[in-house]
Amino acid sequence: MAVSGAVLVLYLFAHMIGNLKIFVGQADFDHYAHWLRELGAPVLPHQWGLWMVRIGLTVAVIAHIVSATILAVRARKARPVKYAHRPKVQGSYAARTMRWGGVIILLFVIYHILDLTTGTVHPDFAHGEVYNNVVADFAPERWYVTLFYVVSVVAVGFHLRHGIWSAVRTLGQQSARGQRIARAVALAVSVVLTAGFLSVPFAVMTGLVG
């Protein structure tokens, strides 16, 4: 769970930083998208590097979902009789939001790929014109798409906050100081990623990018 999650967090950082290139300008942003397709050149042929990243990510997502299922089954076996009074402790609340948060994020990623990678559900998609595709996506009349993106990115933020905290507990030391550090790191990473991702739709909405 922790290792596959760490791979996905690294991808999110790379993706968020790449997205911020939209503030540099249209030519730079489109050039960056073009560069992604030449990742590993000249050693690797066109799109091979990108496909290696895609395969790595798919493996990480599957490993993450499989480990979550194994952990959930193990937790249920450890407590076959349900609690008569289920106290509203942090643990059960976090577990519930992790499961539903994970489902929302998975649905978002599927929609997001059909939207901005393949253009299947995008109203005005053009291959290679990534800047225009993003600007058209967050147009004022498509406020519901922007809202879906904002809700999903916030869901990613909450998921990361609890996920990173658990991962550091799994992989790191569990002293009181270690836990304080884990909590602070989890909060900082999730706030930075959430703010970075949200800055793009907000910039388009306010006309800063367009």
By CB under 6 A, name the binding residues for ligand HEM: 15, 19, 33, 36, 54, 105, 109, 112-113, 116-117, 130, 134, 149, 153, 156, 197, 200-201
User: Which residue's Cβ has the minimum distance to ligand HEM?
Assistant: 33
Least distance to ligand HEM, CB of residue 36, Å: 5
| Rounded Cα gap, residues 18 and 28, in angstroms | 10
Q: Which two tokens stand for residue 125?
A: 């998609």
Least distance to ligand HEM, CB of residue 92, Å: 25
| Rounded Cα gap, residues 163 and 118, in angstroms | 29
Taking the CA atoms of the chain, what radius of gyration do you get in angstroms? 19
DSSP string, 52-65: HHHHHHHHHHHHHH
Least distance to ligand HEM, CB of residue 184, Å: 22
DSSP 8-state class, residue 126: -
Minimum CB distance to ligand HEM smaller for 130 or for 182: 130
- Give residue for tokens 């911020």: 20
Least distance to ligand HEM, CB of residue 134, Å: 5
Minimum CB distance to ligand HEM smaller for 70 or for 147: 147
Minimum CB distance to ligand HEM smaller for 105 or for 168: 105
DSSP 8-state class, residue 173: -
Burial bucket for residue 77 (CB in 10 Å: 0-12, 13-18, 19+) = exposed
Minimum CB distance to ligand HEM smaller for 19 or for 179: 19
Minimum CB distance to ligand HEM smaller for 142 or for 179: 142
Least distance to ligand HEM, CB of residue 69, Å: 19
| Rounded Cα gap, residues 164 and 10, in angstroms | 12
Least distance to ligand HEM, CB of residue 201, Å: 5
Minimum CB distance to ligand HEM smaller for 36 or for 68: 36
Question: Phi, psi (5° rounding) for residue 46?
Answer: -45, 125
